[in-house]
Amino acid sequence: MAGKAATTSTTYSPSPTTLKTKAPIFNEDWVRPDGRGFHQCRPAFFRTGAVNAASGSAYAEFGNTKVIVSVFGPRESKKAMMYSDIGRLNCNVSFTTFSTPLRGQGLDNKEYTAMLHKALEGSIMLETFPKTTVDVFALVLESGGSDLPVVISCASLALADAGIMMYDLIASVSVSCLGKNLVIDPILEEESSQDGSLMITCMPSRYEITQLTVTGDWSTPKINEGMQLCLDACAKLAKIMRSCLKEAALGSQE
């Protein structure tokens, strides 16, 4: 679009923008746009304590994907809610209007909210805070692909930072199927032309899957391969998350 400016007239006339990106051909010598290997994740960066007002918070950055999650509570459940001898988890995922290439595009956050809730609830010891509610609010500052896995991992870290009792940290990784290739931790460009996706959220130390979604067309051996790839990556991701928590704990002692 920027290249067009030189050839057309200097006055601005609005015309419908059609993003014409040619679908790349995914043969053997195809390389990923950011030069990563197919089974190589983006460098992950985590930091806890991003928001002062929250009981716990975390910031995560995976390439261009930037997410902030804050955890509030446990606070008293609303009066309208019925008595419950286990705690409640209240999640929300939202996108900033400028997070996506087209403004205000990321509106499928209801779906993300439900997924985040389902991914987290299996790891939290809800019986440790009866009659109360924990709020998890996630905000996607910049959407650069694999948003949901980053949100889930970051939310788990924020919960740990808030001191909510959990069985294990939750790590989440997705793979995309592009032609015959399986690429891990896809970026936005790869996600938009993917033939299928597989996302796993798991508790690596317990070796349990809390949430799993698959779309597209998969044969059983491919699912096997994709799951193994994700589980290995989750284990590594959890190590990074753990070291981040340790660092934060050491920092506060000094």
Q: CB of residue 182 vs other proteins: minimum separation in angstroms?
A: 13
Taking the least distance from each CB to other proteins, the nearer of 220 and 253 is 220
Taking the least distance from each CB to other proteins, the nearer of 47 and 117 is 117
Taking the CA atoms of residue 69, residue 51, residue 171 and residue 36 in that order, the dihedral angle to the nearest 10 degrees is 90
Give the binding site for other proteins (CB under 8 A): 16-19, 23, 110-111, 114, 118, 121-123, 177, 191-197, 202-203, 206-220, 223-224, 227, 231
Q: How far apart are CA 23 and CA 30, in angstroms?
A: 12
Q: CB of residue 123 vs other proteins: minimum separation in angstroms?
A: 8
Q: CB of residue 20 vs other proteins: minimum separation in angstroms?
A: 9
Q: How far apart are CA 27 and CA 39, in angstroms?
A: 16
Tokens coding 104: 């205000």
CB neighbourhood size of 247 (10 A) = 13
Q: Report the candidate in 185, 193, 191 with the shortest Cα–Cα distance to residue 236.
A: 185
Q: CB of residue 147 vs other proteins: minimum separation in angstroms?
A: 14
- Asked if 71 and 54 touch (Cβ cutoff 8 Å), the reply is yes
SS3 237: helix
Taking the least distance from each CB to other proteins, the nearer of 18 and 52 is 18
Q: CB of residue 120 vs other proteins: minimum separation in angstroms?
A: 8
